[in-house]
A and B are shown apart, each in its own frame.
Chain A
Amino acid sequence: MDKYLEMIRIRFLMMLAYRTNYYTGILIYSINIGAYYFLWNAIYGGKSEIEGLSALQMTTYVAVAWMARAFYFNNIDREMAMEIKEGKVAVELIRPYNYLGMKTMQGLGEGIFRLFFFSVPGMLIVALIFPLEFSADFTTWVLFAVSIVLSFFINTQLNLLTGITTFFLYNNTGLIRAKRVLIDLFSGLLLPISFFPGWSQEIMKYLPFQGISYIPSMIFTNGFTGSQAMEGLLLQAAWVLILIIPVQVLWVIAKKQLIIQGG
């Protein structure tokens, strides 16, 4: 266990060394939030609420969805693709740790760093510019905290899955890009899932994506309360467990047919 914690720490320190990159990151996210802020206000027009969300809740939703993304988002799929292509994965495999577990921990270290140096200050800055509504309820914050941890694991498992496909496809940059675009849409980052037409909501119920952004953001904006929030968390937890299966299966198959190209 110690070595995994150490890995989180090292990643955190590594990110800390390059922290200036993050100041502009906050600005970029703020610009995106700004665009959606104006867009949503125009969409609301005179309406007091759409699908149970007020305009103020919607702004908060957009802001928290983007800032939470900074926490759960990572590029470990691309890192894995690089390591596999360059053959470095061979060295990784003989090291005394679980490769996938180590990748997850690196992602977590990165996430924790961004939580403190990106999400929290970013949220404060955005709150100064745009009207946002923060819940005063302590339980909401606890539920939200649990929820974004779970969304980190769902997103990371999906990244591991895409990363592992490099073993089979050799070049999967296109797949990685496509996955990212699809997750932005289906996770509820761009639009709350409740806005989608009924039939597509039915389909999305059976997909893991809404556990990435929709559920934590709805909890944060008090769109989900009480039993609804608990259900959301259970759904997320269920997906974290379910996704272990395809990740492990693919990993076993991948290791069997591994060909190291140089290295």
Chain B
Amino acid sequence: MFYVRMFFQYVAQYMKTRLEYRADLVVELFSDLLFQAVNLIFILVVFDHTEFLNGWSRDEIIFIYGFFLVPFALFSSFFNIWDFNERYIVKGEMDRILTRPIHSLFQVILERMELESLFGAVTGLAVMFYAGSRLNLEFNWYDPLLFVVLVLGGVLVYAGIFVMIACISFWADARTSIMPMMYNIGNYGRYPVDIYNKAIRFVLTWILPFAFVGVYPAAYFLGREEWYGYSYMTPVIGIVFFTLSVFIWNEGVKRYRGAGN
């Protein structure tokens, strides 16, 4: 309960600071939207020249992209830890975090929240509705519920991977560029994994399971029964990766010695 209250207090504080500079906020939302539009234009243009992408139609690919945007938006709003190493380890800010009465990872998440990214989820839903209505998808009454579960699974997958990478800083304090690299690998999950070769597909499923953020869960709503097994596994993989990452984080915090001053 304390954590929930804490969370909302930070949210309120965040809103206050952001709404102070409204023009910046609008520009930021606009450039996010532009970025998503460019990805969409890419898909649209490509499908002027081909009917199917390995058996997937234009609208299906658009649907997958729309789905991907939702967990990605949630992830970028709450797990903005790509500069954890510089911000917390190198500058010694972690010392301060450890004196706080809530779990250190939770504290970092609260501080680094970027709620405006949530707008991406709205774009994602709009894109999904557009593609879904063109595909005449049929929905069951429990599908919205399942959607929430699968999206949360996707968020946990992303969060798990990035928390684990942030943890590297506890062991090696040299600056690494693995973070931006991961963002680029994450883009692979936006497209059906069967266009990649076996090795990459294996990596995207079991090692860096980005496929569970886009194509696998989306396949459920597209009625692609051959992928259902993977779709249902999304929350499991999410929970496994996230739990593992929290475990590694806790181990890392034990090893943290501070940067000195």
Contacts and interface: CB of A to CB of B under 8 A. Distances in A.
Contacts of A173: 24, 27
Interface residues of A, number: 34
Nearest to B193: A38
B229 interface: no
A188 B197 CA distance: 26
A65 B124 CA distance: 29
Nearest to B174: A20
A32 interface: yes
A35 to B, nearest CB: 5
Consensus secondary structure, chain A interface: helix
Interface string A8-48: 00000000000001001101100110110011011111010
Contacts of B187: 32, 35
A50 B31 contact: no
B173 interface: no
13 contacts: A21-B177, A24-B177, A31-B184, A31-B185, A32-B187, A35-B191, A41-B195, A43-B53, A45-B54, A174-B31, A181-B35, A185-B41, A190-B38
A45 B50 contact: yes
B168 to A, nearest CB: 13
Contact of A43 (B23, B24, B50): B50
Nearest to A184: B38
Contacts, number: 85
B22 interface: no
A98 interface: no
Given A39-B195, A42-B195, A178-B34, 10 more contacts: A31-B184, A32-B187, A35-B191, A39-B46, A43-B46, A50-B49, A175-B27, A178-B31, A185-B41, A185-B42
Contacts of A34: 200
Interface of A: 21, 24-25, 27-28, 31-32, 34-35, 38-39, 41-45, 47, 50-51, 171, 173-175, 177-178, 181-182, 184-185, 190-191, 195-197
B181 A195 contact: no
B45 A197 contact: yes
Contacts of B41: 185
B50 A47 contact: yes
A31 B185 CA distance: 7
Contacts of B23: 171
Consensus secondary structure, chain B interface: helix
Contacts of A35: 184, 187-188, 191
B190 to A, nearest CB: 9
B225 interface: no
Contact of A191 (B42, B185, B195, B196): B42
Interface in B165-201: 176-178, 180-181, 184-185, 187-188, 191, 195-197, 200
A190 B35 CA distance: 13
Contact of A51 (B28, B49, B180): B49
Given A178-B30, A191-B42, A28 B180 contact: yes
Nearest to A40: B46
B197 A38 contact: yes
A35 B42 CA distance: 14
A43 B195 CA distance: 9
